[in-house]
């Protein structure tokens, strides 16, 4: 707020008084506004961080998209982006390429304190199990690899469940995961940066709905076996049902506070693996 220079002392004092009152009201209103927004966004990390960035006035990064110098047809970026083979080759090769740069471990150390004495067993799948897993599928607007919407599967689930269960059990008996269920429709989603560079896209895979249901059964059996035989490391908190990374953060916080109370320093080493899923060494299993 600006005020013209005025020789009247009373006017100047009145201006300062009400300006302070206005500043106080604005700060109080802003605090109330953000408190309410943070309360409403509880459980939604994306929305929470958006509010936090707004509070700290974090500037948005503006990306200027420039044609790549290596592009053969920079004047028509749409044609280059739609060149599916270029993106396909990148998505297929990025994992092995990054994995080849990682030195192999000298010795594999198992952190689990116990070993399984029982064999892994896949229990038979019943028609009612197929119906249950069909109901749990996300009813999104997108279709699967073969164009089948989830809504159609849910409508016909009671009719097809006995036949689908028989096919799943046959796959288990013959130890075969059908090739048709391994296929996925990969859709490149633009992230940011140069639209000419395949590395600026992330792949989204649309799987077969029947593949998702079958994988749910295998996953449930496998996780049950790992839990019953205490094979998973107790510190493995992420990607496990009923667990989260919150206990790990609380444990780290308690450790830091404990060390501070003893006037000791704490040090943390954090690792972020690029394309971690694609670079997993399956030979160590």
Contact in structure between 122 and 112 (CB atoms under 8 Å): no
**Cα separation, 257 vs 185, whole angstroms:** 49
Which residues touch 70 (CB under 8 Å, ≥6 apart)? 196
**Confidence check: pLDDT of 185 > 50:** yes
- Residues 206-236: pLDDT tens digits? 899 999 999 999 998 988 888 888 888 888 8
Q: State the pLDDT confidence band at 198, using cuts at 50, 70 and 90.
A: confident
Q: State the pLDDT confidence band at 69, using cuts at 50, 70 and 90.
A: very low
Contact in structure between 210 and 164 (CB atoms under 8 Å): yes
Contact in structure between 14 and 3 (CB atoms under 8 Å): no
Residues in a beta bridge with 206:
185
Q: What is the CA radius of gyration of the chain?
A: 28
Q: State the pLDDT confidence band at 108, using cuts at 50, 70 and 90.
A: low
CB burial of residue 99 (10 Å; 0-12, 13-18, 19+):
middle
Q: Residue 262: what pLDDT?
A: 93
Contact in structure between 279 and 99 (CB atoms under 8 Å): yes
Instruction: Tell me which of 24 and 81 has the higher pLDDT.
Output: 24
Average pLDDT, the chain: 80
């Amino acid at each position: 707020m600006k005020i013209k220079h005025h020789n009247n002392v009373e006017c100047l004092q009145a201006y300062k008084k009400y300006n302070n009152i206005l500043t106080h009201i604005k700060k109080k209103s802003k605090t109330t506004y953000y408190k309410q927004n943070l309360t409403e966004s509880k459980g939604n990390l994306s929305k929470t961080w958006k509010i936090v960035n707004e509070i700290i006035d974090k500037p948005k990064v503006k990306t200027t998209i420039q044609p790549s110098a290596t592009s053969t047809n920079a004047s028509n970026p749409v044609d280059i982006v739609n060149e599916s083979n270029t993106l396909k080759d990148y998505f297929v090769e990025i994992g092995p390429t990054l994995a080849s740069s990682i030195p192999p471990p000298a010795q594999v150390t198992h952190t689990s304190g116990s070993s399984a004495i029982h064999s892994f067993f896949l229990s038979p799948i019943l028609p009612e199990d197929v119906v249950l897993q069909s109901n749990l599928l996300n009813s999104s607007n997108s279709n699967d690899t073969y164009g089948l919407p989830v809504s159609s599967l849910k409508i016909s689930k009671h009719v097809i469940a006995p036949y689908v269960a028989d096919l799943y059990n046959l796959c288990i008996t013959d130890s075969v995961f059908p090739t048709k269920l391994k296929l996925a429709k990969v859709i490149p989603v633009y992230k940011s940066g140069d639209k000419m560079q395949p590395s600026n896209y992330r792949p989204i895979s649309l799987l077969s709905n029947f593949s998702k249901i079958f994988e749910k059964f295998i996953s449930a059996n496998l996780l049950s076996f790992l839990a019953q035989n205490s094979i998973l490391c107790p510190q493995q908190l992420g990607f496990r049902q009923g667990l989260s990374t919150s206990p790990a953060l609380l444990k780290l916080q308690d450790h830091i506070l404990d060390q501070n109370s003893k006037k000791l320093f704490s040090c943390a080493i954090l690792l972020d693996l690029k394309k971690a899923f694609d670079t997993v060494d399956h030979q160590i299993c």
